[in-house]
């Protein structure tokens, strides 16, 4: 099964590929699609086990990176290509930057975790067993949505999609996410990379942003003040202007 992909804009224009995080889907980029579609070819896939790709099981970050690479190859007309990934999507983008045969000109890594958490395999399963029933609790989902800057406009969609993720899929996603480290060969790449992180992110994410940005001379880091995990949803206008200024 192939991934569901939302496409907008001019197919011959510069391509922007937006990769969402865990527990959400392509709708998290709606404000970016609306902003960029006039002058860009905007490509927004739903990751395996998410959104309209929920029937395709998430296996590994590497496999997801290959899926996104296929999406890009099928739409590569020789235009410039920029990949933008948030959280789990940022890890997938990092994986793609370390793989051969994927053409891209720029990448934007937002809130990517590359400092593996200790004892991940031991603690993930008990956490998932506790967390799964809570995904169907509206009050808990509201708290989670608030952490991600998901407002009323998208809460129902977020709540419904969260309930579709199976325990096995969630366990796999969390294990992959929490044990991910910067791939070998990343520092050999020559793709221009912008690392974005909110100043109010968890320490592990802030530390990871420094690890990524200091691993290659082609990386630069920008810390966004007064924002936590979810820059594009917290302040879409600011995010859009930052992205536009950097890719031009």
pLDDT (tens digit, 9 = 90+) per residue, 85-136? 999 999 999 999 999 889 999 999 999 999 987 766 677 778 778 777 877 8
71/3 Cα distance (integer angstroms):
8
| 164: nearest Cα among 91, 76, 238, 56 | 56
The size of the chain, in residues, is 248
Name the pairing type of β-strands 106-110 and 192-198: parallel
pTM: 0.96
Do the bridges between strand 41-45 and strand 5-9 make them parallel or antiparallel, or are there none, so unpaired?
antiparallel
- With a cut of 80, say whether residue 169 has pLDDT above it: yes
* pLDDT-derived band at 60, boundaries 50, 70, 90: very high
- The residues facing 17 across adjacent strands are 43, 83
| Domain chopping of the chain, boundaries | 5-115+182-247
Q: Class for domain 5-115+182-247, per CATH?
A: alpha beta
In this predicted model, what pLDDT tens digit does every residue of 190-248 receive, in sequence order?
A: 999 999 999 999 999 999 999 999 999 999 999 999 999 999 999 999 999 999 999 98
Residue 54 CA to residue 157 CA, distance in Å, equals 14
Q: According to the 3-state scheme, what is the secondary structure of 78-110?
A: CCCEEEEEECHHHHHHHHHHCCCCCCCCEEEEE
Can you say whether residue 125 is alpha, beta or left, with left for phi > 0 and alpha for psi between -120 and 50 degrees?
Answer: alpha
Task: Please report the pLDDT score of residue 121 as a whole number.
Answer: 67
Q: How large is the average pLDDT for residues 3-15? A: 96
């Amino acid at each position: 099964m192939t991934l569901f992909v939302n496409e907008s804009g001019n197919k011959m224009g510069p391509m922007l590929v937006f990769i969402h995080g865990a527990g959400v889907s392509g709708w998290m980029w709606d404000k970016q699609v609306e902003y960029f579609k006039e002058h860009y070819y905007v490509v927004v896939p739903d990751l395996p086990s998410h959104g309209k790709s929920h029937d395709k099981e998430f296996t590994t970050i590497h496999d997801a990176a290959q899926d996104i690479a296929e999406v890009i190859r099928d739409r590569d007309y020789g235009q410039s290509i920029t990949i933008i990934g948030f959280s789990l999507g940022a890890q997938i983008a990092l994986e793609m930057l370390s793989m051969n045969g994927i053409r891209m000109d720029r990448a934007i890594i937002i809130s990517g975790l590359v400092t593996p958490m200790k004892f991940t395999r031991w603690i993930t399963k008990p956490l998932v067993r506790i967390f799964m029933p809570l995904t169907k609790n509206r009050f808990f989902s509201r708290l989670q949505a608030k952490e991600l800057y998901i407002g009323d406009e998208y809460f129902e969609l977020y709540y419904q999609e969260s309930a579709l993720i199976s325990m096995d899929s969630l366990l796999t996603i969390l294990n992959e996410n929490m044990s991910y480290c910067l791939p070998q060969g990343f520092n050999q790449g020559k793709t221009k990379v912008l690392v974005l992180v909110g100043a109010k992110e968890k320490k592990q994410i802030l530390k990871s942003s420094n690890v990524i940005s200091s691993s290659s001379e082609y990386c630069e880091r920008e810390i966004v003040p007064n924002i936590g995990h979810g820059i594009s949803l917290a302040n879409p206008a600011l995010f859009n202007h930052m992205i536009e200024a950097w890719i031009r």
